[in-house]
Amino acid sequence: MEKWIEAGLLWARWFLLPLYVALLVSVVGIYVMVGREMWHFVMLLPSGGEAEMMLLLLSVLDLVLIANLMVMVAISSYESFVSRIVVENQDATPEWLGKLDSGNVKLKVSLSIVMISAIHLLRAYLMEATMERLVALGGIHLVFVLSTLGVALVDRMHKTEH
């Protein structure tokens, strides 16, 4: 009986697979948004101002970072919780494949959030947001930076213990 329960619990990890697929499929939506931003960029080329173009490019950068984050989380989570990924052509594999543990993923997610937050703060500044809004966004960004430092510190302490 105990072996069946353990086998069932181990098999249940496959329930996570549709969630990872959903993350990867949602990258298609990011393609659409990047396409829309690039269309606006091309239309602004002849007459657009520098600030407007910079805002559009920051939007594209923001979307790319989010797409990278989604793919990295889906792949590393699949490998951590479901099954190891074996690739015949080692040249085609990302350098980090097989090397990310949960601490590394948390740190990469935190760093991505800090980068995304910094981009939003810069966009608000370029859009000449009110001082109250900039202070609020700066405070939120500072919280993300401090949280990331905390995650990095805990991860480092955990690695030195082992």
Q: Name the percent of the chain lying above pLDDT 70.
A: 95
- From 3-12, 95-104, 124-133, the region with the lowest mean pLDDT: 95-104
Residue 131 has pLDDT above 90, yes or no: yes
Query: What's the whole-number mean pLDDT along residues 18-34?
Result: 93
Amino acid present at 147: S
Query: Dihedral, CA atoms, 49, 65, 149, 79, nearest 10 degrees?
Result: 180
pLDDT at 162: 65
Domain assignments of the chain as residue spans, ordered by start: 2-83+90-161
pLDDT tens per residue across span 138-161:
999 999 999 999 988 988 888 787
Query: Would you give the DSSP letter of residue 13?
Result: G
Q: Name the percent of the chain lying above pLDDT 90.
A: 39
pLDDT tens per residue across span 95-116:
766 666 677 788 888 888 999 9
Name the band, by pLDDT with cuts 50, 70 and 90, for residue 35.
very high
Residue 93 has pLDDT above 80, yes or no: no
Structure tokens at 139: 């405070």
How many angstroms separate the Cα of 142 from the Cα of each of 115, 117, 121, 134, 149? 12, 9, 11, 12, 10
pLDDT tens per residue across span 38-68:
999 999 888 878 888 888 998 999 999 899 8
Exposed, middle or buried, 56 (CB in 10 Å: 0-12/13-18/19+)? buried
pTM across the whole model: 0.77
Question: How far is Cα 79 from Cα 122, in angstroms, rounded to an integer?
Answer: 35
Higher pLDDT, 128 or 131: 131
